[in-house]
Structure 1
Amino acid sequence: MKKLSLLASALLASAYACADEPNTTADVQKADSEIRFTAERITLPGNEGMGMLGGNYLININKNIQFGPAVYGAVTGKRGGFFTGGAELSGRYEVMPKVLAQAGLYVGGGGGGVAMVGGGLMVRPHLDLLYKFDGGTAGVSVSQVRFPNGFIKSNQVGLVMSLDTNFRYSPVSSIGKMLNIDDRGGMGFDRIAVTAGAYKPASGVKDLGGVPYTGKIGYAGFRSDRFISEQVYWGIEAGAAAKGGADGYAEVLGTVGAETPVFGDVKVGARAALGLGGGGKLTVGGGSLGKVAVYASAPLTKDVFVALEGGMLRFPDGQFKAKFATVQLGVELDTHRERGEARTVRGMEWGFSGAYYPKAKRYSGSEEGVKLVGFKIDRDITPNTYFSAQAHSAYDGNAGGFSVGLAGLGVKTDIRPNSFFATAEVLSGAAGGGGISSKGGAIVQGVAYAGYDFNSKARLKLGVGRVKSLKGEFNSNIFDVTLTVPIGVASR
């Protein structure tokens, strides 16, 4: 991990230093979007209850249809560590002023928390009745959660709330040009960072088997932050165990924090985070998780920074608690502004993928194929290099609960409308769950792609590569199909 971090730092620094200066003005467009949250209690086999939260980021395809990524996870009960990730398609209709009827379908993969999910495929159709207020909607949702190749099928009534936002972007033809707007581009995050570190369990804390922890649990993940003033920000973070025998542990949190410069560009700050976590035999109860931390950061270049952070985490209804320390390597994408100023448009791609591991070694000693669904975000560093963050979850292959989180760098040929192109990327991260032999959790992956651009509106990529656990026996070829939507977004 240390060598990969040093390599990433050098590549990022040199890439930004070599970026071409834009020389013309770009167009800007806006797509309405929303952040949607759901809360419901599903019933598992044996009449066991599990509280489940959902989060969606949905972009309006037109006035009534929305589409985007979604994640669901356990928050109460006995199944902390239950997560699924996938995509949501929904439509709504105004039945009377300020009252909306909404129907949708979520399809994704995941599991965990020792839940009986089979291969991991989850389907959630729903019908909602919503009240429209300034800035969002709120209402009730009737849904069914079903794992077709598992044993979970539950009907329930829950709550749903959404907050309106927007997604500002430029056409692909504007990449490399200048843009002068007050608002941020894309999803609006000002910085992203990959993280690596360790959790030190408190004395006396035991795993689900009753064995006390005697060492540290290695951790890898990433963060995205957005500033609401010069010093205060909110963000999201996700990560997973990368060593220490807790493979399968994963977490997703929302965070708020504040920071201030102490001398020059060196800053100190503090933050708090709430979210969901579990898996890897950790005693997490229902899965709700809290963190507090302090940190210091310093720039390596104009756009690349490093940060050191220390803090504590705890599961309120579980036994597990720990101190932690991490190092972060990040990129400044944008800044909080009170007035518009010129910014460069850089390329970005959102992608949904299907992957296949033909020989995924299990702890049982067997080898079986595993199919996964995934979500990818690629952000250009220069016209021919990019940063990629990815999340994948199993949906078929008797590996329900197996999930992968990856981040790394890629290179690509020049991409022109209606033409073929090639890309290649090297990623590292964490994986676990589903009985896959990913001992410790740390993995590396390399994939080469051949692709075709459909008039700069969509891109199809076919990939072949290799994924390998650093300490486990999981070592397989990978075949990947990815469909992306390319856009341009404003950056520093």
Structure 2
Amino acid sequence: MATPDDAPFARIDTVRPAAVEASWTRMKMPDGGRTAFASLSYLMAYGDDWGFGPGFYGTAKGNYGGIFTVGFTGQRRWRLSGNTHLAASLYVGAGGGLSSREMRFGGGLMLRPELSLRTETGGWYTGIGVSQIRFPSGNVKSGVGLALTLGRTMDFVSFSPDDAGKPARAGRRSGLGFDEIALTGGFDRPRAASRNRSGQPYAGRVGKAGAELRQYVADGSWWGVEASGAAKGGVDGYMEILGQIGQDWPLFGTPRLRIGGQLGAGLGGGGNVDSGNGWLLRGGPTLRWITPWGPSLRLDAGYTHAPSGAYRAPYLRAVLAMPLDRTPTLIGDDPGGTVRVQQLGASVMHLPRMRFKDGRREAVSHLAVGLSREFSPRVYGTAQAGSAAAGSAGAYSFGLFGLGVQSEPLPGGLRVGAELLVGAAGGGGVKVGGGAVTQAEAWAQWAPAERLRLRAGLGWFRTLRGGDQSTPMSHLQLSYAFGALQR
């Protein structure tokens, strides 16, 4: 029951089931080799039996490291008993990699239907089923084969997006559950033993740009996910996605200045980097300064190693981290925060004049996952990750992040704004120089329902340095909007 003290605060509007799901799917490639796709997806319930969410797939077996796709999964579940359910899923993504005369990904669109039986134990579940991976416009296609699944259930807690700007308390994490989002930039310096897939040694440095999401489980202890790509150094198209854990401690007794270490493991490859089967290991020290204004600055160093490939490189990078939430406290001890709108969306982008390395220009369409977060009523941060899905640029991928400005809501549920993003891109024969790119866009958005957003935009995409790439762009996005605490 509401009390006078509660009256000024917005209330949690929705608590939906959610799950983090990993899978393993074996397949035979057109060139005769065998590989397996590993995946990680985040699924949020939409109704009692339906779920949807973003995910990625990457090769993790054989000598195929560097094949990635990014997309969305829709899933229908049927309850069979108290601890078992049947699930039918369809993943629609885009990407590719390691194209050759024998192995073609076409425009890059990937489909993966699955039917599986799951058994639940506590908050975990395991599943076994059948699935098929296919790139419809290429020749990469598996037979119907065995698929293994491991999942963890959780809650998706959110406020109404109409409560934006209001004070609120939660006593638990809201939204996607991360405490911090960070932008990363730095470089690797490959060792002399590092080779490309043709056996030639690397020379010089590999510049990288990326983004990171982090959750703190205790004071100075965290886990998170990171995605980055090559932005300089002649390996455009290289991409890596890693999970990481870490710990740091106050330095010189100052809680805002902290020193520690982190470990990471995940998948990487592309850009002619010999990452073997795709698995990467990473570790090293980290120095973090939590500013009095909220953001944190970090300096990370360490070593990246591809156990089955020929890539070994020390790295150094700088990180700017923005707070999203923090470790939950009891309602009575929670000073609260302000509700800000986040949006999770699926995008289709059309670029009519993409330039390829062989000199031709063709139209290419992208499929992307987008995430945005308001920092104030007028300013927001945004990130996009995606790949080519139509055209002839299969295996082209990109990751972008930046800032945007927006108007106050207009009559009829309309809103207008503009944004500028930078990041890394490459692969698929597209000409992007070292891989550093930028994208500017003006957009208009309509809210047909409380939590749905339909957005259309026009903009320009180009490389940051030189005239390797410059093309207009049109963008259509459908997003799910929700309120999350900024504390």
Q: Aligning the two structures, in what range does the TM-score lie when normalised by the shorter sequence?
A: over 0.9
Is 1:405 matched with 2:399? yes
Question: In the alignment, which residue of structure 2 is the partner of 1:335?
Answer: 326
List runs of 5+ in structure 1 lacking aligned partners. 1-22
* Aligned-residue offset at 1:252: 0.4
Show CA shifts across 1:387-429 (max 9, x none): 0011121111111110110000000001257322111000000
Question: In the alignment, which residue of structure 1 is the partner of 2:477?
Answer: 482
CA contact (8 A) 1:418 1:456 kept: no
Is 1:280 matched with 2:286? no
Q: Secondary structure at the match of 2:319?
A: strand
Q: Provide the rounded CA distance (Å) in 1 between the counterparts of 2:380 and 2:292.
A: 17
Q: Which amino acid aligns with 2:356?
A: R
Q: Which amino acid aligns with 2:9?
A: T
Structure 2 residue corresponding to 1:245, chosen from 234, 250, 264: 234
Question: In the alignment, which residue of structure 2 is the partner of 1:38?
Answer: 23
Q: Secondary structure at the match of 1:76?
A: coil
TM-score, normalization by structure 1: 0.93
1:306-385 matched pairs, under 5 angstroms: 306-340=297-331, 341=334, 342-385=336-379
* Aligned-residue offset at 1:141: 2.1
Q: Provide the rounded CA distance (Å) in 2 between the counterparts of 1:231 and 1:445.
A: 35
Report which stretch shifted further, 331-340 or 312-321.
331-340
* Aligned-residue offset at 1:264: 4.2
Q: Provide the rounded CA distance (Å) in 2 between the counterparts of 1:100 and 1:168.
A: 23
CA contact (8 A) 1:169 1:487 kept: yes
Over aligned residues, Cα RMSD in angstroms?
Answer: 1.5
Q: Which amino acid aligns with 1:165?
A: M
Q: Provide the rounded CA distance (Å) in 1 between the counterparts of 2:212 and 2:244.
A: 9
Q: Provide the rounded CA distance (Å) in 1 between the counterparts of 2:45 and 2:220.
A: 31
Is 1:69 matched with 2:58? no
Report which stretch shifted further, 248-257 or 152-161.
152-161
Q: Secondary structure at the match of 1:272?
A: strand
Q: Provide the rounded CA distance (Å) in 2 between the counterparts of 1:38 and 1:129.
A: 13
1:121-270 matched pairs, under 5 angstroms: 121-154=109-142, 155-262=144-251, 263-270=254-261
Q: Provide the rounded CA distance (Å) in 1 between the counterparts of 2:39 and 2:460.
A: 32
Q: Provide the rounded CA distance (Å) in 2 between the counterparts of 1:25 and 1:90.
A: 35
Q: Which amino acid aligns with 1:143?
A: S
* Aligned-residue offset at 1:198: 0.2
Q: Provide the rounded CA distance (Å) in 2 between the counterparts of 1:283 and 1:317.
A: 9
Show CA shifts across 1:203-258 (max 9, x none): 23222233321200000001111011112111000000000001000000110111
Question: In the alignment, which residue of structure 2 is the partner of 1:84?
Answer: 69
Q: Provide the rounded CA distance (Å) in 1 between the counterparts of 2:291 and 2:112.
A: 45
CA contact (8 A) 2:107 2:389 kept: yes
Q: Which amino acid aligns with 2:170?
A: I
Structure 2 residue corresponding to 1:463, chosen from 451, 457, 478: 457
Question: In the alignment, which residue of structure 2 is the partner of 1:12?
Answer: none
CA contact (8 A) 1:207 1:282 kept: yes
Question: In the alignment, which residue of structure 2 is the partner of 1:299?
Answer: 290
Show CA shifts across 1:330-372 (max 9, x none): 1011221342311221111111110011011000000011001
CA contact (8 A) 2:193 2:311 kept: no
- Judging changes above 3 Å, is the alpha-carbon distance between structure 1 residues 474 and 108 closer, same or farther for their aligned structure 2 residues? same
Q: Which amino acid aligns with 2:364?
A: V
Q: Kindly report structure 1 stretches of 4+ aligned residues shifted beyond 4 Å.
A: none
CA contact (8 A) 1:172 1:347 kept: yes
Q: Provide the rounded CA distance (Å) in 2 between the counterparts of 1:393 and 1:352.
A: 12
Task: Indicate the percent of aligned positions where both proteins have the same amino acid.
Answer: 33
* Aligned-residue offset at 1:96: 3.3
Q: Provide the rounded CA distance (Å) in 1 between the counterparts of 2:53 and 2:374.
A: 21
Report which stretch shifted further, 23-32 or 318-327.
23-32
Question: In the alignment, which residue of structure 1 is the partner of 2:104?
Answer: 116
Q: Which amino acid aligns with 1:485?
A: Y
Q: Provide the rounded CA distance (Å) in 2 between the counterparts of 1:338 and 1:347.
A: 22
* Aligned-residue offset at 1:463: 0.7
Q: Which amino acid aligns with 1:351?
A: G
Q: Secondary structure at the match of 1:173?
A: helix
Q: Count residues in correspondence.
A: 471
Q: Which amino acid aligns with 1:473?
A: D
Report which stretch shifted further, 338-347 or 67-76.
338-347
- Judging changes above 3 Å, is the alpha-carbon distance between structure 1 residues 417 and 164 closer, same or farther for their aligned structure 2 residues? farther
Q: Provide the rounded CA distance (Å) in 1 between the counterparts of 2:124 and 2:243.
A: 19
Q: Secondary structure at the match of 1:145?
A: coil
Q: Provide the rounded CA distance (Å) in 1 between the counterparts of 2:292 and 2:235.
A: 35
Q: Which amino acid aligns with 2:477?
A: T
CA contact (8 A) 2:193 2:310 kept: no
CA contact (8 A) 2:90 2:114 kept: yes
Report which stretch shifted further, 105-114 or 215-224.
105-114
TM-score, normalization by structure 2: 0.94
Is 1:104 matched with 2:93? no
CA contact (8 A) 2:27 2:36 kept: yes
Q: Secondary structure at the match of 2:412?
A: coil
